[in-house]
Amino acid sequence: MQTFSVALGPASHPVHVGDALLDGLGELSRAAGIRPGPVALVTDSNVARHYSARAASALEKGGFVPKLMVVPAGEASKSSAVLQDLYDHMIGAEIDRGGSILALGGGVVGDLGGFAAASYLRGIAVVQVPTTLVAQVDSSLGGKTGINHPRAKNLIGAFHQPSAIIADVGTLITLPEREFREGLAEAIKYGAIMDAAMLADLERDLDHILARDLGILEALVAKSLRLKAAVVTADEREAGLRKILNFGHTIGHALEASAGYGTYLHGEAVAIGMAAAATLSEKFGGLSTDEGSRLVRLLQRAGLPTEMPPKFRTPDFTAALRLDKKRLESGIEFVLLQRLGKAVTRRLDFEQIVAVFTN
């Protein structure tokens, strides 16, 4: 197991990465300051089949009383209706201000459970227990929580740091192949924006990663989270440096919204967004054509899509792009690559972005 701390003053919290950590959920949660007693165990219908009983048993051994709350699997659960259902369940389970939520699942469960924790009774504790590669390498860390609006992804949310992150890489064994591969997009992102050596490691180890070698996966998850933690501790609220973590996400989020949530998995949309951002980086950021091609090849080797679909030319895509959180009065603050391992932000007009792919 690898353990390190995200240093955020009073909101500092431990991160644990390893195999079979589900069996220590109760102990690790208590060590993080979670009060024994009722805890809302929030998960989705897919994860529940594999891990809810095991997680509940581990919590009971730690002195907790788990109240299982299962939401439908999929992006559609990041909605105000499902959030309301969670509130109703927590009220019925008599979760009070000293209670907590344990979010067991992928990015949807983490975002939804985290936002429920941020808003219920003006804020209760949450422990993030990511079970997908996307969540383990990225979304579980940083305190971003929220739900989608029909017009844009993650439009409603709050920053709410977890009390602990417990990433059991053993849960990746049961992850469907498509969902496993989408998680590689976020890991590749960290190499692209911050660490060229990590990108080389991914190129070298990709076959072992795809074979789900747990030792290599533990190292990959820990490396990704350490890189993200370095950014988050320097810029928790995305006022500056943290914006580089949105590499590939501007176009990716617009694709998800315009195509309809669920058409693309999040990592698939981000992969397309990174390939598109590489093209824009060659034009506006200084990235060499060779390095741009290298990034796209790695995404393709990982089995991820890299081509902009015809649907992006629709008014829905342009409208979604204009709703991006990084929008400015006359354009958007876009994350580009200066070189592999070095990201920069540039103000681009919406017309500049679309023109690169229509000319």
Indicate whether 311 pLDDT > 60: no
307 has catalytic annotation: no
The tens digit of pLDDT for each residue in 94-123 reads 999 999 999 999 999 999 999 999 999 999
Residue 228 a catalytic site member: yes
Q: Given 253, 256, 282, 291, which residue is catalytic?
A: 253
Tell me whether residue 238 is one of the annotated catalytic residues: yes
Q: Cα(253)–Cα(354) distance, rounded to whole angstroms? A: 15
CB within 8 A of 167, min separation 6: which ones?
15, 16, 17, 18, 21, 129, 130, 136, 140, 221, 225
Catalytic residue check, 54: no
CATH of domain 2-174: 3.40.50.1970
Active-site residue (options: 238, 268, 282, 291): 238
Instruction: Reply yes or no on whether 266 is catalytic.
Output: yes
3-state helix, strand, coil in the chain (%, to 5): 55, 20, 25
**Mean predicted confidence (pLDDT) in 28-52:** 98
More confident residue, 151 or 214: 214
Which residue among 89, 153, 160, 249 is the active-site one? 249
Average pLDDT over residues 251-256: 86
Phi, psi at residue 236, to the nearest 5°? -65, -40
Give the pLDDT confidence of 129-141 residue by residue, as tens digits. 999 999 999 999 9
Closest C-alpha among 92, 136, 114 to residue 42: 114
pLDDT, position 154? 85
Q: Which of 89, 242, 256, 291 is catalytic?
A: 242
Q: What is the pLDDT of residue 151?
A: 80
Q: Which of 75, 179, 182, 186 is catalytic?
A: 186
- Residue 186 appears among annotated catalytic residues: yes
**327-351 residue pLDDT tens:** 665 678 899 999 999 999 999 988 7
Q: Is 89 a catalytic residue?
A: no
Give the chain's mean pLDDT.
Answer: 94
Q: How do the domains of the chain map onto residue ranges?
A: 2-174, 181-358
Report the distance separating Cα 268 and Cα 306, nearest Å: 8
Selected catalytic residue, list 89, 189, 228, 243: 228
Least confident of 180-194, 295-309, 340-354: 340-354
Average pLDDT over residues 146-165: 92
Question: Which of these ranges, 151-160, 216-225, 304-313, has the smallest mean pLDDT?
Answer: 304-313
CATH class of 181-358: mainly alpha
Tokens found for residue 188: 């590749």
Ramachandran assignment for 294, one of left (phi > 0), alpha (psi -120 to 50 degrees), beta (any other):
alpha
Q: Quote the pLDDT of residue 152.
A: 77
Set 13, 16, 144, 189: catalytic member: 144
Of 246, 256, 268, 291, which residue is the catalytic one? Answer: 246
What is residue 9's predicted lDDT score, i.e. its pLDDT?
A: 97
Sequence-distant (6+) residues with CB within 8 A of 73 are: 44, 45, 46, 47, 108
Residue 352 has pLDDT above 90, yes or no: no
- From the list 16, 266, 268, 282, the catalytic residue is 266
